[in-house]
Structure 1
Amino acid sequence: MTYRALTPNEISVMKQNGCNSTDWNDIKVKDGFDCCNYVRVNFSGEIRLGLTDETVIGTAGIIVQSGIFDASLHNCTVGDNVHIAKVWERIINYDILDGAYITNIGSIICTGSRAFGNGTEVNVLNEQGGRSVLIFEELTAQMAYLMTFYRHDKEFITSMDKMIRDYAAKKKSAVGKIGKMAKITNLGSATDVVFDDESYTNSCSLLWDGTVGKRAFVGPNVVAEHFVFASEACVDKGAIVKNVFVGQKAELTNGFLANNSLFFANCIMEAGEAVSVFAGPHTVSMHRSTLLIGGMFSFFNAGSGTNQSNHLYRIGPVHQGIMERGCKTGSGSYIMWPARIGSFSLLTGKHYKHPDTSELPYSYVVEKNGKTVVLPGANLKKFGTIRDILKWKKRDHRSNDLPRLDIINYDPLTPLTTRKMYQGIHFLNLCETDPDYPSAHNFVIEHKSIRHGRELYALGVDFFMGEEVMKKLAQINVTDCPDSLGYLLIPESNEGVGRWVDAAGLIAPATVINELCSSVAKGSISSPEELAKSLQAIHNKYSDYKWEYVADNFKSCYGITLDSLTKGAAISILHRWTESVDSFDRERNTDAHKDFNENSMVSFGIDLDPQSRQVDFNEVRGLPEKNDQMIAVHNHYASLIQEAYAVICRLKEPQHI
């Protein structure tokens, strides 16, 4: 960009407008510069000024004149059509890009000593370190997961640390940035902070050493130190954070306190507190009395008063806990870490004995007479479970025109949960022969729950396997093939066989993840961009991996090998599966109807006679057959059954000669 010196006439006009400079020769401007749009401005150091030939869109869509008014700038480059007004101290060492709007602020200073939050060490799970994650602008939930939980692979961790430190070193600069169309209003002070394009910072108190991502919002009374706010993140209304990463469309607000924590896509955190937390996608905590500490959470919903403790008063706050995907806690729940709760489980009461229910997903984990009692599979047919699963995808509000950092697999049932249900069946078989077996995992299972749990898990396995068989058959031309279908269904690879992992939203075979880590350790993957692409490539092959898992478990589920599958056998499998689908639909519908029974009406009709309270109830809650959520769940199952019958009809069609 070509700049020129100010003319004597321009200097004269600017002086008349109350402008001052320590050296007018240090100010360079573009051709077309309009000196009239600079009023009461103090300049010092190297200054570059752009054009002011257009207006600027300010807050609430108000149109204002571009230019600088009542401000002090030191070593700054100002782009075209920028509006800066009422800078009570100084803006020092910043590039301010086209269309930015800055008004009524204290100071914005770049010292050159920081990398704008990149490279900040965040001590997740263990407050004293040991699982620290280095945050940076391109951090994804999957990268953080691997850095947190793959500490056993020292070469991988060393390579990851180097990769991120190199990234941070490149970001370190003596000059900060205020991006295109960024808005900064009523700010107290910001030191060593990058404000990316279209970001909006309004009335926050203090920002130090961080990055405010593209279209991110930082609101009133926020205090943030050593942070990275990803694109479209929201930190608002008195939130106070330190050593924190906030992911895309994640929201921290209403006085939420966070220290050494990671919050990934679509998290909503209000009023409570988080310390050393790994909050995977869709983690929600919205109550002032709630503390999340030293734990891994994902697709999690915290009831009011949820609490954990990670300090057993011996060597310090070093204990950790895992709440696998989809867990919930009831109001007033407490758990003493270390502990691990299986996926999609509901935990209520207080638990002190460090239970490990990871082999029993979809369970109720309850307190009974001071003991942890597990009801295996009890959550599998509950309406709230499928409601949550269906709502998460609808609540992914990340914009499609921005790159999505976190990979999120929204499949209701996966090879991971199915393998867990297989393990659950095996676990319950052992419990039947040895009633004390659960005690080794620090919980109790009542004998009457064993058989029911096995039945529920078997139904869940059948649901997953049948749905995948139906989808696979729908993809092939079954009409023109011979009676034997097996040769069309045998997978080309077996990478999906065996153990699977949920890497904070990415569901993949463990062997594939281990190979990825090996590539990082060897230097084959040497940049965050390459790593992100490799992770996405794994996600893109999910359907192939999933079918490989189904093929490997086909005989154990159906009693025949996949290569011997005939059309008749396939039809039988699909009919069996539709019965499972119908069972889930009926069970969950029955569960939802409990919100419409007599007990649910107790607090209705406050000034009506008991016989009339039904009228009040119906007006407020409506009728079950018209409930949007119940209709959505039923339609979900009905569509699956329709797909199955469409495939059955194709299988029954005569072969064309």
Structure 2
Amino acid sequence: MNVIQKKPLTELGYNFVAASYLPEGKDEYYLRNKQLGKQQNNYRKLTALEIEILVRNDNTSDNWNNISVANEFTPQLVKHCHFFGVVRLGKLEPYYLEFHNLRLPVGLYNSTITSCDFGDNAAIHNVNFLSHYIIGNEVIISNVNEMATTDHSKFGNGIVKEGEQENLRIWLELCNENGGRSVMPFDGMLPGDAWLWTRNRDDKALQEQFKKFTENQFDKKRGYYGMVGDRSVIKNCKIIKDAQIGTDAYLKGANKIKNVTINSAAEATTQIGEGCELVNGIVGYGCRVFYGVKAVRFVMASHSQLKYGARLINSYLGNNATISCCEVLNSLIFPAHEQHHNNSFLCAALIMGQSNMAAGATIGSNHNSRGADGEVIAGRGFWPGLCVSLKHNSRFASFTLIAKGTYMYEMDVPYPFSLILNDEQSNSLKVMTGYWFLHNMYALARNSWKYIDRDKRTDKIQLIEYDYLAPDSVEEMIHAMKLMEIATGRAWYTQHDPLAELSEHDLQEKGKELLIHETEIVAGLQIFAPDVENSSRKVQLLKVHRTYPLFRELINLYAVRNILSYQEQHPGHYFSALRAIAETAERGPWYNVGGQLMKEETLMDLKNRIRSGEIDGWNTLHENYKIIGEQYAKDKLQHAIASLLYIEEKTAREFTPSFLKECLLQSVRIQTFLTEGIYKSRAKDYQNPFRQMVYENETEMEAVIGKLEDNSFIQQTIAELKGYKKKVSGLIEEWGLSAAPVVEQ
């Protein structure tokens, strides 16, 4: 039975906060006045003439003495309105406001208003019920069924108010459907915050600190009003309840917005479109939510987008990410994620950014244990292709592409930049190592470039790494090279001495020797990898003979790029300064903390200071992200030099001018190879006869897709190669590395 309470009309608009929750000496308006600030002093009582005009215009109030107005108030601009409780009206002048061809006169018309404050020159039209909101200047609100705030509003934050039970708290069940990695959402939550909170579940001290951070960030008192910032426009919406809305927001045709914070600002406007339903969540600055989106228990980081019926449930969507049409559940998604297809499904996953989910990709078959507790972890650049179906639990190294197919077994793929193929004909799994560099360099390079170009964040608290050659991917390459060495050695002995009893070290040494000096022999071996798939079938590694030396050269390029960057940032420093850095350079694990890369030592120190209370809140943690970001270039340089010395098997003493010169010249060769790969991989699209057949001739093809020679990205990479060669020549000359100028290649 519906419980409909019947109360005296004289109470409508009053007693917003029960007396038991009011501090001694405070009334129900004390928090409202605090939110309004000094502006509350700009109002006065109505004059008798103004009341007369208001009554003549078919307005009513339970008590005209409770209506306050600004000095420039024009009563003729208020018509057919019903006021209850304390209402304060700002300046009303004879203008109309226009936004996107919607033109409405300033004033209040045909609305029921309960205990609200209005800034100057607002245009309020046909709002059936507007209750307990603070409305900013020049705001347009038109054709809204219900817009109300309750005394226990939390605006999407994972807190409980005074007198509420713990079971009313909103949690985000990220990464796992069983709730074992749940976090409390809060306004301002960054991807790094969500990652730290979801990962360290066995660290009770750390978990308690995260809860305290969230609890301490928000007031538990009842009585806060909803707010609509200056110049925001709300039209043709049905229900808006317990919402905080920033300035310059645009809400049009939304069905329901409940318990939500919508961040918006003049330099980062947020828009919510037709048919959308948002419940229990946080919308970041500069977001776009359009066309029938359903989002429940969610956080959208700044400049992310939901479109075309997308469903985002119990999930965190990182900055500059876009989800269209499809369904995403219980997932933590780092910045720069793309998912555009209605039959694309993502569930119970940690996706570490720069990712793309193709049509038909299903990361959701996680009910393969005794409960719904499976997970998938994917490094940067994760790309499951058309109609890929994966089984939880699985884990993938950075920049993994998965070819079309149903993958029936759990996988643990430690080979970055690889292509995964399910060969049903031979009933085997194949891993094409180094795929992106060998066959699709255009896409790899362009994606790294476009993510930097599309990073629209106005407040870049976390330094997001988009380069495909970075500490995380390089560490994975080094680990993969060791696995290749062992697998190659095993393959050689299987063919030449199958009865030999050898240690892993023996296999690795033999494999390294072959991969460095006998690549033709390696090309003729069948190389298999253990522990990649949870099945009895074989997992074959492809093109190891090409990938292994390529990885070595790429790590050299990674080091030289960072050395050149160091030279640009520290003009006047010479080789001796770089040599001093090499003396202390060390390798070690790196972690992707919400798109920001941190070495293990830095991350451990960060967590220790959180446990100890030195870092005492989210804002302080965010300041530490900035500090770590400022240190990143130096940390990356040290890691790059250490990685170079490791693969070349040299000590810091052997980091000599002649060695550096050799590395610089080698980097030009690999940079040239990559630039040519960018051109060749794109040229395939022009040379493929099956792509050509839809055009009458080459001229029409070029009219439709443009000339290859005019491709702006290719032209940019060619220009960058020329610039790179000049930088290398300049460094060799400036640092006196006794070398002739780099020969054009």
TM-score range, shorter chain: over 0.9
**Paired residue for 1:466, among 552, 560, 565?**
560
Contact 2:133 2:225 in 1 (8 A): yes
| Structure-1 separation of matches of 2:737 and 2:478 | 35
Q: Deviations over 1:120-159 (max 9, x none)?
A: 3110111120111221111111111111222232211110
**Paired residue for 2:720, among 636, 649, 652?**
636
Shift of 1:407: 3.7
Contact 2:271 2:288 in 1 (8 A): yes
| Matching residue of 2:453 | 394
| Matching residue of 2:176 | 126
Contact 2:365 2:389 in 1 (8 A): no
Instruction: Point out where structure 1 has 5 or more consecutive residues left out of the alignment.
Output: none
- The residue correspondences of 1:216-231 to structure 2 (distance < 5 A) are 216-231=270-285
| Matching residue of 1:442 | 533
| Structure-2 separation of matches of 1:546 and 1:140 | 22
Q: Does 1:156 align with 2:219?
A: no
Q: Does 1:352 align with 2:436?
A: no
| Structure-2 separation of matches of 1:212 and 1:56 | 26
| Matching residue of 1:585 | 675
| Matching residue of 2:514 | none
Q: Secondary structure at the match of 2:639?
A: helix
- The residue correspondences of 1:18-417 to structure 2 (distance < 5 A) are 18-53=58-93, 55=95, 57-60=97-100, 64-87=104-127, 89-119=128-158, 120-169=170-219, 173-214=223-264, 215-297=269-351, 298-348=353-403, 349-357=405-413, 359-369=414-424, 370-381=427-438, 382=440, 383-398=442-457, 400=458, 403-404=459-460, 406-417=462-473
Amino acid of the residue matched to residue 355 of structure 2? F
| Structure-2 separation of matches of 1:488 and 1:450 | 33
Contact 1:490 1:551 in 2 (8 A): no
| Structure-2 separation of matches of 1:496 and 1:183 | 54
Query: What TM-score does the superposition give when structure 2 sets the normalisation length?
Result: 0.82
| Structure-1 separation of matches of 2:702 and 2:423 | 36
Amino acid of the residue matched to residue 145 of structure 2? G
Amino acid of the residue matched to residue 464 of structure 2? I
When structure 1 is superposed on structure 2, of 291-300 and 374-383 the one drifting more is 374-383
User: Structure 1 residues 313, 419: CA separation in 2 closer, same or farther (over 3 Å shift)?
Assistant: closer
Amino acid of the residue matched to residue 589 of structure 2? R
Q: Secondary structure at the match of 2:72?
A: coil
Contact 2:418 2:435 in 1 (8 A): yes
Q: Deviations over 1:233-274 (max 9, x none)?
A: 111110011001111111101011111011111111111111
- The residue correspondences of 1:494-513 to structure 2 (distance < 5 A) are 497-513=587-603
| Structure-1 separation of matches of 2:354 and 2:51 | 60
Contact 2:328 2:345 in 1 (8 A): yes
Contact 1:6 1:29 in 2 (8 A): yes
Amino acid of the residue matched to residue 451 of structure 1? H
Q: Secondary structure at the match of 1:373?
A: strand
Contact 1:189 1:206 in 2 (8 A): yes
Shift of 1:405: 5.2
Using the aligned pairs only, state the percent identity. 19
Shift of 1:560: 4.0
Shift of 1:210: 0.7
Shift of 1:584: 1.6
| Matching residue of 2:735 | 651
Query: What TM-score does the superposition give when structure 1 sets the normalisation length?
Result: 0.92
User: Structure 1 residues 151, 638: CA separation in 2 closer, same or farther (over 3 Å shift)?
Assistant: farther
| Structure-2 separation of matches of 1:594 and 1:475 | 39
Number of positions where the alignment pairs a residue of Structure 1 with one of Structure 2: 640
| Structure-1 separation of matches of 2:674 and 2:237 | 53
- The residue correspondences of 1:590-629 to structure 2 (distance < 5 A) are 590-605=680-695, 608=696, 613-629=697-713
Shift of 1:503: 1.3
Contact 2:122 2:140 in 1 (8 A): yes
Contact 1:519 1:525 in 2 (8 A): yes
| Structure-1 separation of matches of 2:319 and 2:577 | 41
User: Structure 1 residues 433, 177: CA separation in 2 closer, same or farther (over 3 Å shift)?
Assistant: same
Amino acid of the residue matched to residue 353 of structure 1? Y
User: Structure 1 residues 475, 393: CA separation in 2 closer, same or farther (over 3 Å shift)?
Assistant: closer
Contact 2:556 2:644 in 1 (8 A): no
Contact 1:431 1:450 in 2 (8 A): no
Amino acid of the residue matched to residue 437 of structure 2? L
Amino acid of the residue matched to residue 567 of structure 1? P
Q: Secondary structure at the match of 1:148?
A: helix
Query: Larger Cα Rg: Structure 1 or Structure 2?
Result: 2
Q: Secondary structure at the match of 1:446?
A: strand
Q: Secondary structure at the match of 1:507?
A: strand
Shift of 1:204: 0.4
User: Structure 1 residues 292, 248: CA separation in 2 closer, same or farther (over 3 Å shift)?
Assistant: same
| Matching residue of 2:500 | none
Contact 2:559 2:637 in 1 (8 A): no
Q: Deviations over 1:609-643 (max 9, x none)?
A: xxxx3333233234322222322333333322221
Shift of 1:476: 5.3
